Chains A and B, each alone.
Chain A
Amino acid sequence: MTLKVQHIAKSYGEKQVLKDVSFELQKGTVTVLMGTNGSGKTTLFNIVSGFLKQDKGEILLDGKTINQTEPYQINQLGISRTFQDMRLIGKLTAKENVLLAFPKQKGENWWNVILPNKKVKQEQETNQQKAEELLKTCFIDDVADHKANEISYGQQKLLNLACCMANNTYVILLDEPVAGVNPVYRDRLTTIIQQLKQQGKAILIIEHNTDFIEQVADEILFLNDGTLTLFDNYETLKNNPQVQEAYI
């Protein structure tokens, strides 16, 4: 499954944030999206995930346009995302958050849950096991029954990834997954992202942490002045005069 973003433009009033943005995500690759603050990285995420409509351009998932599609439908088609600000359901436990993320559950159809239903019960039992395994994979099985708003920030970041894994989409957009976490949690998050890559997911990450970028990036997109430039690795990006100018 490939995601093609073609000639996206977006303005907020007079200010044109994205001018002509095009890129492509392939399965089994990690692409990092860099850019200065306010360059439009999160705007691009919001457009791809359907939370914001672009002024121009097209987004194609496996050749089919997903313009004018609702965010929940975009997720069902195969694109999931995390948010820069921590978004989890704080009053649900870590395990319940993972259970919530499983797609297309029979038990989410109201007609299946008015009365007890054997199929729903079986599905719930299977999902419980899967959720426990995912929490273990993400190093947070010890807080499975803790409320999401009661675990540490690093654990919340890991839980975010566990939810992404449970959501099981082809394309994953991660908005600053290692921002504000200590090196131990960063290594854990890196391990999980590499696992997702091995599973064949196409991953787009907004990130500023250079160590992390060097570890995971297959390619880097640099967003500046509303347009994108593609770099093969962090070294070439670092030595690019345009990039240096943007950060100075």
Chain B
Amino acid sequence: MDYILHLGILICIYTILAQSLSLVAGYSGQMSLAHAGFYGIGAYTTALLSVNYGFPVLLTIPVALLISGIVAYIVSKVAVKTIDDYYIIITLGIQVVIFSIMNNWQELTRGPLGIPGIPSFEIFGFVFDSKFSFLLLSVFFTSLVWFVLKNITSSPFGRMLRALSEDEIYTKSLGKNVAQAKVVSFVISGMLASIAGVLYAHYISYIDPTTFTIDESIFILSIVIIGGMRNLRGIFFASAFLVLLPEALRFVGMPSSIAANMRQIFYGIALIMVIFQMGKQQQKKANA
């Protein structure tokens, strides 16, 4: 039973990550590979503050949001000046930089040794130390993120994002500040991803840099692509599908060593789909 609850928690965490990425990759058409970086910023912020300084979670969450928001703002201010492949390369570079900081700034992050002993999530004296209570907490945060993203994407701001992803020049000609909209969507996306990081750190109670690698960014992007670039509900189902897939394959008799590697196969498929998606976008631009 505990294992099923554990899978439920992971589905929630990946739903937050993938839905928040869809705001950037799906709605505003910016294919970001830095998402695991913001996931890591959330996790490391809460871990360092709670382990080293005893900060309560209610304080570490706003700090994690703030730091990831600042980093996302700086990154997007640079990345917004580029398009397509260049944009992806910049976000890839940022992902590598964030990972390198986690891995090499040993005085702060303990590098590859990671940070153990992260306390359980606690609010007003209630400790979410059982799998069931943590699942409820995760469902709450997932619903909150979903609700916020639903509001944003169905608003005129969301419409503007969809428009600029299809034709930036036309959207500018209508008086829309396209650059600002792209920066804002990236910042919101990065901040929401950090919430998943906070949840993960307090759930697992130990973090190290290997959780926040480029592989993780590609995995999150693959969820978005499989679920539908602008389909929040589809992304939830895709998260469930990709988290449960190795388990399902084990149940049908596939050796666990192969089943676990199915994730890698999906990375490959996702990468091919990304290239197709980019090809389609470039074709559209060429036809415009």
Contact = CB atoms under 8 A, between A and B. Distances in A.
Interface of A: 49, 51, 70-73, 75-76, 80-81, 83, 85, 87-92, 96, 99-101, 103, 105-110, 112-116, 120, 124, 163, 167
B156 A107 contact: yes
Interface string B146-161: 0010011001111110
16 contacts: A49-B173, A71-B172, A72-B173, A72-B174, A72-B178, A80-B174, A87-B169, A89-B162, A89-B170, A89-B171, A99-B156, A112-B155, A113-B151, A113-B157, A115-B148, A163-B174
Q: How large is the interface on B (under 10, 10 to 19, 20 to 34, 35 or more residues)?
A: 20 to 34
Interface of B: 148, 151-152, 155-160, 162-163, 166-167, 169-178, 184, 188, 288
A89 B167 contact: yes
Contacts of A76: 175
Contact of B167 (A75, A87, A167): A87
Contacts, number: 94
Among A73, A76, A110, A167: residue with most chain B CB under 10 A: A110
Contacts of A114: 148, 151-152
A106 B160 CA distance: 12
Among A91, A106, A115: residue with most chain B CB under 10 A: A91
Given A51-B169, A89-B163, A89-B166, A113 B155 contact: yes
B166 A90 contact: yes
B169 A167 contact: no
A73 B157 CA distance: 17
Contacts of B177: 72
Contacts of A49: 173
B77 to A, nearest CB: 16
A99 B159 CA distance: 9
Nearest to A106: B156
Given A72-B177, A80-B175, A113-B158, 4 more contacts: A91-B166, A110-B188, A113-B155, A114-B152
A77 B154 CA distance: 27
